[in-house]
Structures are given as structure tokens and as C-alpha cells.
Structure 1
């Protein structure tokens, strides 16, 4: 199942820079593993905001919840919007040559 996920983050105001830097490194390493596992398909950042949109795959909403809540930056995610996706009859993907 695919999900379009919008995540907004905010670091704690009194966060130590070393902690922030470590979380960023951990988050990127964790994302690389999720990519290998096929869960994280695409990721876009929103310009001028601490926000991203991602295309995620999971067997169901419970698995997606476990994946997102397991991210190193999860405690600083102030808003997570999940949009389950379903196939559309006029999806052009099957017609696009690879």
C-alpha cells in the first residue's frame, strides 16, 4: 500500500547543536535502510520550510505508523499528515515507458 506523507519538524529551542547534528546523521542512515527495504520511495522537501513530503510503502497503516514513529527525528515532528493512496483508473504510470 502506498501513502503520501507530509511531515513538519521543529527542533527544540534549547537543543544542543551536537544532538541536532547526531539526529540528522542518524535520520539519513535510517532513511537509507528504509529505501533499501522499499518503504521510502520518494522524498521532497518544501522550500523555505522545515517540512517534507514523501511517498512511502507499507503493508498497512499500522506498519506505516511503526516506521514513522521509529524515525530518529520523530520526537521533533510537530505535524504528520498521512494520505493513503489507491490506484486510479486513468493513472498514466502503466503507459510510461521505463
Structure 2
């Protein structure tokens, strides 16, 4: 299944800068692993915000929740998930 996922990150004002840097670095490493496994297909940044949209793949919503809730930034994330279904006029993946 494919999912369109919006993630907004809200870092605490008083967060230790070293912790924030470590969590951000671990998040990038984990994202690379998820991309390699095919779970994270695409990711777009929302300009000027700590927010992104991503195209994710998982067997079902439960697997997606397991993947996303295990992300290092999970405690500071606000997540909205939209399930996607095939459309009869979909031209297919971009080449």
C-alpha cells in the first residue's frame, strides 16, 4: 500500500542543541535505511517550515504506524496519513 504522509516537527525551545543534532543525524540515517528498504519512496520539504510530505509504502496501516513511530524524531512529530488507492487514469510512475 502507498501512503501520503505529512510530518510536522516541533522542537522544544529549551531542547539541548547537542541532543537535537544527535536526533537529527540519527533521523537522516534511519531515513536512508527506509529508502533502501523501499518504505520511504519520496520526500518533499515544505519551504520555510520544519515540515515535509512523503510517499511511503507499507503492507498496511499498522506496519506504517510501526515504521513511523520508531523514527528518532517521533516524540516531536505531528503526523497526518492519507491512504492512497489506484486511480484508473493514473499515467504510472514518472520516468
User: Cα distance, 1:33 vs. partner?
Assistant: 0.5
Q: TM-score when scaled to structure 1?
A: 0.93
Superposed CA offset, 1:1-48 (max 9, x none): 000000101101110000000011000000011011100000000001
Cα separation, 1, equivalents of 2:81 and 2:5:
5
In the alignment, structure 2 segments of 5+ residues that lack a partner are none
State yes or no: 1:93 paired with 2:92.
yes
Q: TM-score when scaled to structure 2?
A: 0.96
Q: Which runs of 4+ in 1 moved over 6 A?
A: none
Residue 34 of structure 1: aligned partner: 34
Give the RMSD, CA atoms, in angstroms: 1.1
In the alignment, structure 1 segments of 5+ residues that lack a partner are none
Aligned length: 95
